[in-house]
Each structure stands twice: as structure tokens, then as C-alpha cells.
Amino acid sequence: MRVFVKNQRGEALMPCSNKKARTLLKENKAKIVSYNPFVIQLKYATGESVQPVTVGVDTGAKHIGIAIGSENKVLADGEIQLRDDISDNMQARAILRRTRRGRKTRYRK
């Protein structure tokens, strides 16, 4: 995985490797902005060059895959697992509703 980087003004730069981020933090040249996702912010002025980035989404029936990459590196990837228990939950809810309506109570005609 890569570590996301922001410049002094908080604008996004290209991600760096874990090793580079550790050295920047150890030398006190960067500070941690957030832990999930892990983002650091540089404390010194740098260039503003960024590369074009593409986002790929692979939709499926049970899983959705997402990847973010530049020309030759994968910057971030992930997988989303879709819920498949919704129809079972709705069916159980309908059964409970039917039994509730079918009960003989004093106040219901």
C-alpha cells in the first residue's frame, strides 16, 4: 500500500511508500493528519507536480472491486462485500408481522 501525502497548504500530492513516510515522520519533516486512511502532511515546501490517476471499478454480484493507479503503480485497492441477507430479513419480518396480526387479543376486533 501507499501513504497519501498533502503539501503544506493541505492539497493532495502523489502518494509515497511506507518507508519514505516513516523517514519523513522520523526526521520531523511531516505530521500525521489521519490514521484511516493514513495521511501525512509535509512541513516543508515542495513542487506541485502530480501524475494522472485512473480509477477502476469491477462490479459483481457479491463483491465490488476498486483500484486506483497511476501509469505503473497501484496506489490503492479495495473490495466491498455486498449484503446478501436482506431478502431473508424481510421474509422474517413478514412472518413476525403475520403472527402478530393473527394473535387473539382483547382490544383487537
Task: Classify residue 22: in a domain, yes or no.
Answer: yes
Task: Classify residue 109: in a domain, yes or no.
Answer: no
Band of pLDDT at residue 108, cut at 50, 70 and 90: low
**How far, in Å, CA of 16 to CA of 21, rounded?**
7
Identity of the residue numbered 24 = L
Sign of the C-alpha dihedral, residues 4, 5, 10, 12? negative
**Residues spanned by the domain of 30:** 1-50
Q: What is the mean pLDDT of residues 65-72?
A: 92
**How far, in Å, CA of 96 to CA of 64, rounded?**
33
Of 105 and 91, the one with more pLDDT: 91
Total Cβ atoms within 10 A of residue 43: 13
Task: Classify residue 81: in a domain, yes or no.
Answer: no
**How far, in Å, CA of 83 to CA of 24, rounded?**
40
* Number of domains making up the chain: 1
Asked whether the beta carbons of 30 and 42 are under 8 A apart, the reply is: yes
Task: Classify residue 39: in a domain, yes or no.
Answer: yes
Q: Is residue 104 pLDDT above 90, yes or no?
A: no
